[in-house]
């Protein structure tokens, strides 16, 4: 069974890029959501993050991580 993570961020953000690389290296299937290109998905990200505009926002199963914590 493949692990899946959804990562919300911007393609130009180095922290978002690092999160995507880190999760992929851990064997995750990564769904990247470019919140800059799709404002409706930005609203999804803000709901998950409690309104915080810090990226990346990572959804791993039921766990939400805001920012890249030591990955």
How much is the pTM? 0.91
Into which CATH architecture does domain 3-66 fall?
3-Layer(aba) Sandwich (3.40)
pLDDT band at 32 (very low <50, low <70, confident <90, very high): very high
Which single residue is written with the structure tokens 């890249």? Answer: 68
- What percent of the chain has pLDDT above 70? 97
The residue extents of the domains of the chain are 3-66
Q: What phi and psi, each to the nearest 5 degrees, are found at residue 4? A: -125, 145
Q: Are 9 and 49 in contact (CB under 8 A)?
A: no
pLDDT of 71 above 60 = no
pLDDT tens digit string along 36-47? 999 899 999 999
pLDDT of residue 1: 72
């Amino acid at each position: 069974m493949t692990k899946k993570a959804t990562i919300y961020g911007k393609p130009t953000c180095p922290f978002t890029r690092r999160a995507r690389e880190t999760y992929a290296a851990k064997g995750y299937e990564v769904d990247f959501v470019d919140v800059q290109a799709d404002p409706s998905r930005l609203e999804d990200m803000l709901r998950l993050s409690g309104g915080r505009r810090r990226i990346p926002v990572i959804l791993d199963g039921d766990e939400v991580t805001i920012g890249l914590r030591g990955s």
